[in-house]
Chains A and B, each alone.
Chain A
Amino acid sequence: MTNYLLEITYIISSVLFILGLKGLSHPESARRGMHLAEIGMLLAVIGTLLGQGIVTWEWILIGLVVGSAIGTAMSIFMPMTAMPQRIALSHAFGALAAVLVGINEFIVKGHEITSGLMGALGFEVLFGSLTVTGSLMAFGKLQGIVKSAPMTYKGQNFVNILLFFITVGMFMYLVFFPQNILIFGTMIALSFLIGIFIVLPIGGADMPVVLSLMNSYAGLAAAATGFAINNKVLIIAGSLDGSSGFILSIIMSKAMNRSFANILFGAVGTPQVDTSSLHEDRPITRFNVEDAKFALEQAERVVIVPGYGMAVAQAQYAVRELSDELEKRGIKVEFAIHPVAGRMPGHMNVLLAEANVSYDQLLEMEIINPTMDTVDVAIVIGANDVVNPAARTDKGSPIYGMPIIDVDKAKTVIVMKRSMATGFAGIENPLFYEENTKMLFGDAKKVLQELVAEFKKN
């Protein structure tokens, strides 16, 4: 295969990648889009195997076979509820490949390394290695191997900033003196450390941001690899990945009311807030399952707001059954999805789709909010901070300004919750004390199943 043919193959691959992502603009076109992207990947691999002067095949074969086996097994046996972990893990794999290619390039090129090449290699291994350990940490926290609560210590910011500057300093030194293998190695080791350190202070509810950021970093590492080995398809695919993570990070940071600068540098650790300032003395109103059934029967329009609690209780199937029962009675049911509900972007959508909820019932916060006052019953399942009206009204609240789903504007709000405990951020939720709010305590799945059984009685 001549060089031109190879370049043309890479160009076609790049176009197919872009078309593939374009397909994701709608669930109807998404699968066809993915097929295009798959063909693109296949072409790029075949082109590389035939056109890049490959001389030994056994290691390639072993890697491809082992990798395919593990990849296939992971995608078949991994339950949908473990999706955040899987995403975190795969960021680590992708970044690891980029780091290793970078190290190899450093060794192979040896004394030929120019400042320009070193610049590319530096970015590659820096982004790559901090993504590897950062993603593994995120994986550990999501899987429960590492404590998911934020881990902070005195002087943490100082240590992180110091580490960051030392690493950047080494990188700059390398650009001028590219052959120093000791500095190169130390720089990689330090960025592995940075990856761990920036995820340490981040708690579970901030995981959507971390995953988006790691998505972006993994893409940047791939793009830098393209710079280093002068391969255009890597640059293009890497920047697609990078911009995807970038956009998701922006969306997530807006939904959490955090500045993007704050997030870009990984300083995502939630300030542990003082909860004593706001303490409600008003009484709460309780509902039992029969009351809930009665209220729902009278409704014309019901909106369900799921949160991470629904995922924890594995209640998505029970939710769908309830929605079916309501629809059978001619009640309109919709789901209002907050961008940061759950542990990764789109988490609630995937769980509900798995439970067979039709995707046109899954509505974004911006779409549902203007019509919230026409909703008869809003059911909040395992969500707390994303429906906290203090974000709208209480200037002193740490979540003030964060966009929320305005369930308090619905005629009746049923909050399904295990207890009166505060949400992740430890903030009191005035919603629970509103007159139109009814608390239905218990395990979300159990309560929902009882409610469905109640409906099935007649």
Chain B
Amino acid sequence: MHPALLLLTDSRLPAGGHAHSGGAEQAVASGAVHDLPSLSAFLRGRLHTSGRVATAFAAACCAACGAARAAPDAPPGTPPWTGLDAEADARTASPAQRAASRIQGRLLLRVARRVWPAPALDSLALAVPDPHHPVALGAAAHAAGASPGDAALAAAYHAVTGPATAAARLLGLDPVEVHRLLADLAPDLKELASLVSGPETAWAELSAHSAPALDLLAERHARAAVRLFVS
């Protein structure tokens, strides 16, 4: 694991992540998440659906940066950002989730361009100013010197830590117990990161898992009269 990954996954990274609950706020509001076991199930479900997609895209985008750099005749503007971003878009059914992902992608890209300036980040900002979060995360990981496997691990971790922290705040759960739930997911994080395919993988073969319940929670959240988190 590259040390830069610690910065990319730190909740103190000033990239706006603290204001997103990944559906946890609506899951709490609906009663679906109300204690540690129900939070555990929520996190596991999220990790293996939308988290799995995020993992695949973060790795693919990180790998695409490496591939573009390796090709001496690659035209300016590569990697193929608009195509990769469109693939991520197609796998995100809920417009509210798309918006939440793009906001977080844009804010992460802003931070990454100042912390790890790189041509790949500039080309991403020009091609897609508000990329999906996993796309920005993959590019940022590459700019920071990390590998596609690292990017995948960061994406998997990001998929569960934000919702876990949000649930702890909203329900007043014991934060140590919430961290124990996250620690229990470590083997799952490792497994997801190991599933990442190489840069030659066709985009159509990238993970396309969906979670209709998360889509519905995101849509309901966007219409909620009272909310603390953006998503």
Q: Do A and B come from one complex?
A: no
